[in-house]
Amino acid sequence: MSSESKRKILVTSALPYANGPIHLGHVLEAIQTDIYVRYQKSLGNECYFFCADDTHGTPIMLAARKEGISPEELIDRVRAEHYRDLSGFLVEYDNYYTTNSEENRILSEEIYLSLKGKGHIAEREIEQAYCDTDKMFLPDRFIKGTCPNCGTQDQYGDSCENCGATYSPKDLKDSHCSLCGNPPVSRNSKHIFFKLGDFESYLSDWVEKGSHVAEGVRKKLKEWFEAGLQDWDISRDGPYFGFKIPGEIEKYFYVWLDAPIGYMASSLNYFKGDRKKFDSFWKDKKTEISHFIGKDILYFHTLFWPATLEGGGYRSPTQVHVHGFITVNGEKMSKSRGTFIKAEGYLKHLDPEHLRFYLAGKLGPGMDDLDLSFDDYTAKVNSDFVGNFVNLVSRVATSILDKLDRTLGTPDAEGKKILDELRSSESKIREWYETRNYTRVMKECSRLGDIANKYVNDLAPWIQIKSDAEAARKTVTVALNAARILSIYLYPVLPRSGEKVYQILGLNKKPEFADLSSDLEKTKVSAYEMITKRVEEKSIQAMLEENTLETKSAQPTTTTPAAAPKTEGVLEISIEDLSKVDLRVGKIIEAGPVEGADKLVQVKLDLGSLGTKNVFAGIKASYQPQDLLGLTIVAVANLKPRKMKFGVSEAMLLASGEGESLSLFVPHRAANPGDKLK
């Protein structure tokens, strides 16, 4: 490809938030984006893949405080973990950065001051949620309740994960502080707003003209235009971990203002501060900017973000690709069912290319949700990946080639016809990669693999070699050239396997589409190296079981031992194990219901010299809060604190039975709070 015809493309995927591990939802998007980037690079285009950790906001500040470390220490550690897990799935970033960077601060301030100078910023007093218990203004994500639009419960204070609606926290029904579970109170505070309505005409044109978004996205955006574009609150009160707003006192940029600017900061960091190179993407419309996001952040990337860029003096995105959610075995990922699968857990037991292959087979250009069925996963990988693609190489590159001095010949006329048929699919495959219709690519490659394998089966080189070695050589030559063509087509999806095929063929390079124009003839072939192995059911079960155990051990311990799953037999522990459990007498000095939780009661325990501890206990079926006040009970006092959506549980009440027959343990004789049980 000549330099004149090369496209210049900057690609991003959404920024993982630095308050939790990478799970399969993150992996889905990272793989979808990486396939697109690898495809562009395999064509010879100048393509960059930028991402970063999203690091600002109150949740980060509080998580760091809980660990007794600085927010900077927390986000540095999490960023390293995120990069490790995402790159473990062969996702190849040009730069994986952080939003807590000097580049991001400078760009955020520049864009804000540009918006302000052009009259797109407004100030006004607002009623804001404040938690009297935690003594802080509550960020949107620390308020939960019922969506005012669709009625879905347990939604955040800024947007609904079910219907996608955005709203003010005060519009949320049955709202409560997600830290302590208490209803917030209202306080006035000056806030700074971005006047999104100033850009309605611009955004309407951007949505309607060209191919910036898919048709399904366009229809959704029309609904929001019809409802009217609301001013966007871009400030938060301190305490807050983020960038201070220039010219303001104790006001910080809302995380959603500086997070997408993190795309720009990651690229500026990669370009080593070269503003000319930076501007060649972010200001020059002859280049391309493509964002990959999930449908839950559609509003921010297709309305706020293009408007922010336009008002800040930059160009809008060329394309915003929107995908759906991932489900596991037909259901939303669930911690209780053990199907909330972390990337680290998957990589411990299963091949990352197997997931890339399976997801690519289901990824289309739309926003449909995608299901990971492990039965289907096993069948598809074993039949189409191993049985079709890998088998095409392994069956002819081992002992047969040894008898042919591991040297290829030339394809005969029939063989050339087969190879030309495979090559004839190039234009379709390129179109499908370009439009993110990966499922069509995978189906076509499977069809082409069937054609090549049938050719090998019909000629049976393992039989040919017994009477006509040169005929067998021609068959093997066609088979391995067919595998080379398929490895080029599949390289964006299967980079490791594609490179292994090339290494076996003696090609010390990465597969690329330019290699399709010629055949490999009369050359030595290296010893066969296993490309991948079949999926084993025991590996999947080990991953799911380990994930279930890990998830359960990480859950807040708020119910009694009797509520644990029943098992046959009794787990034996040593006296040393038992000595680790600190059993204390506790007196319940406060008790109350937990809003939004039918089974929980919140109690405050007086543990004497250990102070008071907060506990969420699943005992409401047998104890009403008013019956618990003053009760002396037995508790596990040294339980590691567990964060729940209602707050933090710091101990565990001991009980026997379950449901209405559940009974708390109480000391047999008079005992004082804090007394240790032996």
Question: Domain segments of the chain: what residues?
Answer: 3-108+253-323, 351-517, 557-664
Which two structure tokens, joined as six digits, stand for 160? 């609904």
Which two structure tokens, joined as six digits, stand for 329? 């075995």
Give residue-wise pLDDT tens across range 231-244.
999 999 988 999 99
CA 416 remoteness from chain centre: 44
Q: Does 573 have pLDDT greater than 90?
A: no
Query: For the ranges 88-102, 381-395, 538-552, which has the lowest average pLDDT?
Result: 538-552
- CATH superfamily for 351-517 is Isoleucyl-tRNA Synthetase; Domain 1 (1.10.730.10)
Q: Over the chain, what is the mean pLDDT?
A: 90
Pairing, β 288-294 against β 8-13? parallel
Give residue-wise pLDDT tens across range 159-210.
888 887 888 888 889 999 988 889 999 889 999 999 999 999 999 999 998 8
> Same fold for the domain at 351-517 and the one at 557-664?
no
d(CA 11, CA 26): 16
Annotation-wise, does 335 bind a ligand? yes
Query: What DSSP state is assigned to residue 337?
Result: T
| Confidence band of 571 (pLDDT split at 50, 70, 90) | very low
Give residue-wise pLDDT tens across range 349-408.
999 999 999 999 999 999 999 999 999 999 999 999 999 999 999 999 989 999 999 999
Long-range contacts of 172-176 (CB under 8 A, 24+ apart): 172/143, 172/144, 172/145, 172/146, 172/147, 172/148, 173/145, 173/146, 173/147, 173/148, 174/145, 174/146, 174/595, 174/596, 175/129, 175/143, 175/144, 175/145, 176/143, 176/144, 176/145, 176/595, 176/596, 176/646
DSSP characters for 203-239? HHHHHHSSSSS-HHHHHHHHHHHHH-PPPEE-EEESS
- Phi, psi torsion values for 216, nearest 5 degrees: -65, -35
d(CA 678, CA 675): 10
Nearest Cα neighbor of 486 from 529, 528, 441 is 441
Provide CB contacts within 8 A for 575, sequence distance 6+.
none
Confidence at residue 184, expressed as pLDDT on a 0 to 100 scale? 92
3-class secondary structure, 117:
helix
Annotation-wise, does 160 bind a ligand? yes
Contact between 498 and 491 under an 8 Å Cβ cutoff? The reply is yes
Which two structure tokens, joined as six digits, stand for 538? 């025991």
| Confidence band of 599 (pLDDT split at 50, 70, 90) | confident
Cis-peptide into 239, omega within 30 deg:
yes
Q: Fold for 557-664, please state it.
A: OB fold (Dihydrolipoamide Acetyltransferase, E2P) (2.40.50)
**Burial class of residue 114 (count of CB atoms within 10 Å of its CB; 0-12, 13-18, 19+):** middle
Contact between 75 and 55 under an 8 Å Cβ cutoff? The reply is yes
d(CA 547, CA 23): 11
Confidence at residue 455, expressed as pLDDT on a 0 to 100 scale? 97
Q: What's the Cα-to-Cα distance from 412 to each of 52, 409, 421, 482, 487, rounded to whole Å?
A: 51, 9, 14, 14, 22
Using CA atoms in the order 292, 295, 301, 302, what is the torsion angle rounded to 10 degrees? Answer: 110
Which two structure tokens, joined as six digits, stand for 305? 């973000």
Q: What's the Cα-to-Cα distance from 505 to each of 294, 307, 394, 398, 529, rounded to whole Å?
A: 39, 51, 12, 12, 11
Q: Does 68 have pLDDT greater than 70?
A: yes
Annotation-wise, does 147 bind a ligand? yes
Give the CATH class of 3-108+253-323: alpha beta
Nearest Cα neighbor of 31 from 354, 377, 389 is 354
